[in-house]
Amino acid sequence: MVSSGVQVLGTTFSPFVNRVRISLNLKSVNFELIEENLAAKSDLLLKSNPVHKKVPVLIHDGKCISESLVIVEYIDEKWSGDDGVSILPSDPYDRAVARFWAAYFDDKVVPVLFKLSFGPESERVALIEQLAEGLVPLEEAFMTCSKGKSYFGGDNIGYTDIALGSFIGWIKAIEKMSGIKVLAEAKTPGLVGWVNKFLSTDAAKKFVPELEVYVELLKKMQA
């Protein structure tokens, strides 16, 4: 493991934070997770991310970087030579496509997840259907980006895998609590297979919380 003077401000259940933790793990970078209480944000967090005041924040040699996907790209560039592991594709077009689908997920899917977590119960069935429909374009994207291999990144997990995969636990918790399949074989067979492969990776096993963690968290959010 690389000794790097790296700290991550965040929480173990945050998918955004876990994007960063997975990326550091892939690059074999040692880091310290500093747990934040988001109900009473620390002075360190407020100082490190004065604009958004939220996690994650990566602190590397005293320099602060915020926003999860920005941090993932920083990690990929900063430790580009370590172990030959690349998170973003080397081809400029493939890099652009990976960024597009990660941005699509954050713009179109994540807001629905937040509404499901905090919105009224009367809207949940419609929102779950909206969530499922929002994942359909990612089925075609997976088929194109993976080129018939296991991950969006090909043989190994990459940028899009990390962006989407960090939310699998949250999506599965919604499925369990609602009794409705969001990722279904009929509409998204490729993504269903991808989920199982992603969750089997060492990085996912280490940094994607168990289903019950998200179930309990969702219950608290909806209470």
Report the DSSP pairing between strands 63-66 and 32-35. unpaired
Do 58 and 118 fall into the same domain?
Answer: no
Do 46 and 107 fall into the same domain?
Answer: no
Cis amide prior to 189 (ω within 30 degrees) = no
Q: pLDDT 10s per residue in the chain (223 long)? A: 444 689 999 999 999 999 999 999 999 999 999 999 999 999 999 999 999 999 999 999 999 999 999 999 999 999 986 567 899 999 999 999 999 999 999 999 999 999 988 888 889 899 999 999 999 999 999 999 999 999 999 999 999 999 999 999 999 999 998 898 999 999 999 999 999 999 999 999 999 998 999 999 888 887 7
Q: How far does the chain reach from its first CA to its final CA, in angstroms?
A: 42
* Domain-embedded: residue 85: no
Token pair recorded at residue 35: 């747990």
* Domain-embedded: residue 125: yes
Do 112 and 177 fall into the same domain?
Answer: yes
Q: d(Cα 164, Cα 106) in Å, to the nearest integer?
A: 9
Do 17 and 111 fall into the same domain?
Answer: no
Q: Report DSSP state, residue 106.
A: I
Q: d(Cα 83, Cα 215) in Å, to the nearest integer?
A: 36
Domain boundary residue, one of 56, 78, 100 = 78
Q: d(Cα 126, Cα 82) in Å, to the nearest integer?
A: 45
pTM across the whole model: 0.94
* Residue appearing with tokens 């994007």: 19
Residue 144 domain boundaries: 92-222
Do 35 and 71 fall into the same domain?
Answer: yes
- CATH classification of the domain holding 45: 3.40.30.10
**Residue 147, C-beta contacts closer than 8 angstroms, at least 6 positions apart:** 154
* Domain-embedded: residue 127: yes
pLDDT at position 93 is 97
pLDDT at position 41 is 96
Do 100 and 198 fall into the same domain?
Answer: yes
- CATH classification of the domain holding 164: 1.20.1050.10
pLDDT at position 4 is 61
Do 103 and 180 fall into the same domain?
Answer: yes
**Residue 180, C-beta contacts closer than 8 angstroms, at least 6 positions apart:** 125, 128
Displacement of CA 51 from its chain's centroid (Å): 22
Q: d(Cα 49, Cα 57) in Å, to the nearest integer?
A: 7
* Domain-embedded: residue 1: no
Question: What is the total count of domains within the chain?
Answer: 2
